[in-house]
Structure 1
């Protein structure tokens, strides 16, 4: 297993070059003061959508 942190926006030109090398891409964002994450698998139709990272 390998973990790689790429501190750029998903629209950055390097993202499409590196994305095919990984099985999963995890994006993080803050939306309305809430930290969220979105998991996308290699098959682009499989995506978690934005979910809160807050513990209940």
Structure 2
């Protein structure tokens, strides 16, 4: 049987909330995520949609 252990969640500091906030990955496409993350290296889109950092036209699969 698997053992499930709780873990402490992480929250960004209050001053960074606006910079890291993002919509769920499945409600916007890569182009929209690229536009929302433009100029913001702290955006979580770089993690949940990493293809936004690939050169335009790169096959994301």
TM-score (norm 2): 0.30
TM-score (norm 1): 0.31
Structure with more helix by fraction: 2
* Structure possessing the higher relative contact order (Cα contacts under 8 Å, 6 or more residues apart): 2
